Amino acid sequence: MKREFQRTIKKEVQLEGIGLHTAERVRLKFKPSLPNTGINFVRTDLAEKPIIKADVRNLIEHSRRCTSVGISLSTSEGQRSVEVYTIEHLMAALFGLGINNLIIEIDGPEVPGMDGSALRFFEVLKEAGIEEQKEVERSFQPNEPLCVQSNDATLVILPADEFKISYTLDYPSLPPQHLILRFPADKEERREVFEKELAGARTFCLEAEVERLRNEGLGKGADPENTLIVDNTGSVDNLRFPDEFVRHKILDLVGDLYLLGCALGGYLIAIKSGHWANIHLLKRINKEKERKEEAGIQAVSGQYSSKTTLDSREIQEILPHRYPFLLVDKVLELEEGKRIVAVKNVTLNDYFFTGHFPGRPVMPGVLIIEALAQSAGVLMLSRRENRGKIAYFIGIDKARFRQRVVPGDQLRLEIEVVKLRTSTGQVYGKALVEGKTVAEANLMFALADR
């Protein structure tokens, strides 16, 4: 697959509309975000302003005919679930524009339906301007067929370098429709295909289902302007495409699969699939992706010792830390046994902001020290003679905090060795934001075998 760079938007934009299921008016604010942060919803209507990442691991399955993500939130009254639903059309627009990193502030539980398609989301985000970032977009393609089946629905992905979808729709009240679309790896070419072929395809509902859905409390905001109602003869007057139904199904499918968090390669064959099949195939793909990534890390283990820069995967080969406690995103400079310069991108998605001054988020000072300690750990454990050992943090001296660190800041973590022996180490570390020192300390470590 062709390697593309990550993208966000250039400026903040907003829109508002009515939820298809709740009929409640909701306002969305779209804000630029840093590389490798992903798509994050912020529920601004709640006191805690929880952050919900649009990610396969946060999927919630329920009876609503839509795609939802959510998290469990700790409150003074105990645990409760917080979610954002009907996200698939917005996620499809992000796929079409190739946007990887975005903050979406939403003042309700449901993304507005707009006209029932992805068109308005696409237009507003396109008007905001697309900014290419320096980090390369991650990608994945399965190396074996993966399949999901349920009743008469089938969804299969076959290994392929390009991303292509073949969809067959066949409902009793509709004439059969079939469409094959290819989505180029080049993001500008993909945008053109999405805008022309999919963006305006609207959601639809069979007339026979309307009353049942209303009785279940669904579709309260649906009307002829945002939902195509298909009678028992298959007649619809205001189609934008002769085959608008199958196009909307593909739109839903690419929106659901964008929760994988990376570019996907493969040939997808879909027969009457909906959100249930889409989500279950997405989970199968993600499981294969995680298995492949784990195998890849093991395969290259030990190749970092001669490097002077390290990415997040190489850092994880050295440090025994993982999300959400890995606080070093990248190593910019590494001089073995002498010094290291690393960075931590502080984002609103960082887990500690949920409970640490949530109304006015500030990075805890102890975690700035921990980020310095992790950088020092990389420096010591990258030495050939220390390979396989663990660096335990055993002391802090002369720690000082000079300035607040907030979302959007990039911490530059600089470590200089003071003493380094066989089983112990002492370093001086300082953290900077835009050239100004925000924290500093002397740190002591003990080195031990695993």
- CATH number of residue 62's parent domain: 3.30.230.20
372 and 322 in a common domain: yes
pLDDT value for 26: 94
- 328/371 Cα distance (integer angstroms): 6
Q: Contact at 8 Å (CB) between 145 and 267? A: no
- Do 308 and 236 lie in one domain? The reply is no
Structure tokens that stand for 117 in this block: 């398609």
Residue type, 269: I
Q: Which domain, by its residues, includes 314?
A: 301-449
Q: Given this model, what pLDDT does residue 297 score? A: 31
Which residue ranges of the chain lie beneath pLDDT 50? Answer: 295-305
Query: Which residue, 274, 292, 310, sits at the end of a domain?
Result: 292
Whether 322 and 203 map to the same domain: the answer is: no
Query: How far is residue 30's CA from residue 37's CA, in Å, rounded to a whole number?
Result: 14
- Enter the pTM of the model: 0.66
| Total count of domains within the chain | 2
The confidence score (pLDDT) of residue 222 equals 66
d(C-alpha 44, C-alpha 34), whole Å? 20
Is there a single domain that holds both residue 231 and residue 128? Answer: yes
Nearest to 282 by CA among 132, 421, 148: 148
One domain for residues 285 and 337: no
Q: What is the pLDDT of residue 303?
A: 42
| CATH assignment of the domain containing 374 | 3.10.129.10
d(CA 316, CA 301): 10
pLDDT value at residue 299: 27
Q: Could you give the maximum distance between any two Cα atoms of the chain, in Å?
A: 82
Residues recognised as catalytic: 275, 356
* CA-based nearest residue to 279, from 255, 244, 247: 255
Write out the two tokens for 196.
């022309």
| 379 contacts 415 by C-beta, under 8 angstroms | yes
pLDDT in tens, 36-59: 899 999 999 998 899 999 999 999
Helix/strand/coil percentages in the chain, nearest 5: 25, 35, 40
* 54 vs 17: CA distance, rounded Å: 20
Indicate whether 155 and 105 sit together in one domain.
yes
Judge if 239 and 312 occupy the same domain: no
SS3 396: strand
Numbers of helices and strands, H then E, in the chain? 8, 25
pLDDT at res. 229: 74
Burial category of 167 from C-beta neighbours within 10 Å (exposed 0-12, middle 13-18, buried 19 and up):
buried
| Stretch (H or E) spanning 371 | helix 365-381
Q: Which of 248, 274, 292 is the last residue of a domain?
A: 292
**Are residues 406 and 283 part of one domain?**
no
309 lies in the same domain as 271: no
What local confidence, expressed as pLDDT, does residue 387 receive?
A: 65
Instruction: Give the Cα separation of 88 and 255 in Å (integer).
Output: 5
Same domain, residue pair 259 and 238: yes
| Confidence (pLDDT) at 412 | 96
Kindly state whether residues 199 and 276 are assigned to the same domain.
Answer: yes
The CA distance from 314 to 304, in Å, is 7
Residues 6+ apart with CB under 8 A from 333: 308, 309, 339, 340, 341
- 280 with 404, same domain? no
198: Cβ contacts below 8 Å, ≥ 6 apart:
92, 96, 118, 181, 247, 250, 251, 254
CB neighbours of residue 298 within 10 Å: 9
Tell which of 275, 292, 309 closes a domain.
292
Any alpha helices (H) in 258-359, and if so which ranges? 275-300, 312-318
Cβ neighbours for 385, distance < 8 A, ≥ 6 positions apart = none
